[in-house]
Copies of this chain bind each other. A is one copy, B any other.
Amino acid sequence: MKNASNGSRNAQATAERILLAAQKVFHEKGYDGATTREIADRAGINLTLINRYFGSKLGLFEKAVLPHLDLEPLLSGTPSDVAQRLAELYVDTGPKEGFDAFVVLVRSIANPEAGPLLIRRLEDHALRPLIDRLEGPNKEARATLIATQLAGLVLRFRIMPQIPLDGQEREALKQRLEANLREALEG
């Protein structure tokens, strides 16, 4: 074999470490708040390797975040299935570390370079799949209703989780949300 797959002189492994660290930092701080220095430190690599492998901070953002902005995997099954899955997933009060591309979207949407990329990606891989999945009249209106509801829930539970919601209220919210989603999904 040519090289140890985890050695410190392996371009592919290094790029992967950068990507993973970038996801976390972009998640926590958004595009503006994330610095290439912190990403490099968290990845345990030298700062210059980011530009070496990804060209620029924006290039890294494109590779690390954009591909994960995708609603399609959550849309399989009957409308009832989808409604239940989404309600369960988006009314979520668990810990919020790690990486969530939709959180990165909200925290980066203000940036003049990252914003347009995010909007285009969202249109192609979230709004469009949702519209195409629906049957019956007013597909765009119904998809918009669903997508905006989910977007608000991301803001509420993944970005401002400071405001608590007790178990009973959470269950009531899930019930009502699921009903609303099912109605919009079915037509």
Contact = CB atoms under 8 A, between A and B. Distances in A.
A141 interface: yes
Nearest to A120: B162
A155 B127 CA distance: 13
A139 to B, nearest CB: 8
A110 B108 contact: yes
A36 interface: no
Interface string A13-36: 000000000000000011011000
A74 interface: no
Interface string A153-187: 10110011011011011101100110010001000
B33 A119 contact: no
| Total identical chains | 2
Interface in A29-85: 29-30, 32-33
A153 B148 contact: yes
A45 B102 CA distance: 39
14 contacts: A29-B112, A32-B111, A33-B111, A110-B110, A137-B172, A138-B172, A140-B173, A141-B169, A141-B176, A144-B173, A148-B149, A151-B155, A152-B152, A152-B153
